[in-house]
Chains A and B, each alone.
Chain A
Amino acid sequence: MDIFLQLLASGFLVGGIYALIALGFVLIYKATNIINFATGEFMMIGAYIFYSLMVYLKLSPFIGFPLVIIFAAILGFLVERLILRHMLGQPNISIIMVTIGLSSILLGMAEIIWGSSFRSFPPLFPRKPIILGEIVLRSNLFYGFLMAMAVVAIFLLLFKYAKVGVAMRATANDQIAAFSMGINVKTMFTISWAFGAIAASMGGIIIGNIGGVQPTLGHIGLKIFPIVILGGLDSIIGAVIGGFIVGIVENMAGGYLDPYFHGGVKDLAPFVVLIFILLIKPHGLFGTKEIERL
């Protein structure tokens, strides 16, 4: 029984961090209707940049974080400007494939620059594990969770109240109406990509802090898909809740089923769940079914 609570708790925490990364995906999808296959790679680049800043330049995390945010924003900006701008008007599948190509480029470049071996992060948080009753929680997981939740909260508030956030929501909802209201739609696209990259990178730093970095960190980003399908592609709440659910499910599956399969179940479980969701409720818990016009 106590393994159950343990798995539940750590799954919940990691889920919160996934939620942040999923948020990065949903932000871009909501504003631009683009499925960003490179979300995981944004995440990984964020982790690697932060690692390099900390280890090679010996900067403190307080400088490192803002620098990564700036870098991620630039990355998002460049992707949107240089590549996606040229794809306006092309069919959706072409744009999706461009992001697939982009993810491949980023993945390869990361391995070329930083090598394929595993690097462990210098610790950001106090080492002492957090103990709640019988449950032992690793400190980097626990504090990482808190940090992720803080960032998610900031984004949610930004969206709800800040001018730029409202403008993004308007653009996401109806581009033409937003345009006629004086919102610069193209700028909104760029901002959405920048924010999306920032959210993913932050998530990447937190995950990197927990498990170290290697190029395959981007594969964790693939878990985005079960999360956003479960939550609903265009739902921010869905991304958060989906993140929690997937985190818990994969932890449970891994904990209970790994012995039978010699490992690997944890990474697989979310995708099996994905198939089931597509069968039962493809638009997810909170997604909106688009009404098509003819």
Chain B
Amino acid sequence: MKILSIDHVSLSFGGLNVLSDVSFDVNQGEIFAIIGPNGAGKTSILNIISGFYRPEKGTVSFNGKDLTHIPADKRAALGMGRTFQNIALYHGMSVLDNIKLGAHSHLNTGLLSALWYWGSAHKEEMQLRRKIEEEIIDFLEIESIRNHPVSALAYGLQKRVELARALAMRPRILLMDEPVAGMNAEETEDMARFILDIKEEYDTTIVLIEHDMKMIMDISDRVLVLNFGQALTQGTPKEVQKHPDVIEAYLGKKK
């Protein structure tokens, strides 16, 4: 069952063509990887799905629903979680608050009930805290740092907190932009394990941009290769690995 459809999407900034006629589908519950050289347009695709960029042509459908007229801030409530290439944690808040922020679109407290607090706001906050502790903090093994300011954390832990925050969004689909960038082998293994656990535990679909080929080949179900804003090919990791265009894009032409 298709959960996400990208249909002939094109995007350009001024004269620069970022994406040209890209189409692909993502099936419910699979891990779908997008790979390609830097500047190929991978992050731009995620940004279009998130609603941050507007494509000039083409449509994005989520769960059968056309997203074209849905603004970025409403897409979170639909179940789209997101992590970012350059960690986008909020340095003014602790780990716990950052995670709670992920759940924003699923909460109901308004301005007045927030000012009064005791009553519905307090109840909501307590429920939220319980849910996060039991489902996310335990799951991602970050109990010891929950009250730390995020700026004090090591890079690997920050990435994990970002993942925790994305999980708090109760995502049906999780868009991850280079989740293991800059990590060593052990941290990469940990992150890969978490991603697989998330998929199994919550039946979340994962769309993943990465450069770490080993990890991609290990955990993805299907792969899309982008180059210069165009889709080169897609298929299972094994198929993509053998594709001559892909080899050429990464290694160059055989002389």
Contacts and interface: CB of A to CB of B under 8 A. Distances in A.
Interface of A: 291, 294
A291 B11 CA distance: 13
A294 B53 CA distance: 10
Contacts of A294: 43, 47, 50, 52, 84-85, 88
A294 B44 CA distance: 9
Given A294-B43, A294-B52, A294-B88, 5 more contacts: A291-B13, A294-B47, A294-B50, A294-B84, A294-B85
Interface in B33-61: 43, 47, 50, 52
List of 3 A-B pairs having minimum Cβ-Cβ separation, nearest first: A294-B47, A294-B52, A291-B13
A294 B88 CA distance: 9
Interface of B: 13, 43, 47, 50, 52, 84-85, 88
A94 B52 CA distance: 27
8 contacts: A291-B13, A294-B43, A294-B47, A294-B50, A294-B52, A294-B84, A294-B85, A294-B88
A83 to B, nearest CB: 23
A294 B84 CA distance: 7
B43 to A, nearest CB: 7
B98 to A, nearest CB: 17
A291 B52 CA distance: 11
B53 to A, nearest CB: 9
Contacts of A291: 13
B225 to A, nearest CB: 22
A291 B47 CA distance: 13
A213 to B, nearest CB: 43
A291 B53 CA distance: 10
Contacts of B84: 294
A291 B85 CA distance: 17
Nearest to B46: A294
Nearest to A292: B52
A294 B50 CA distance: 11
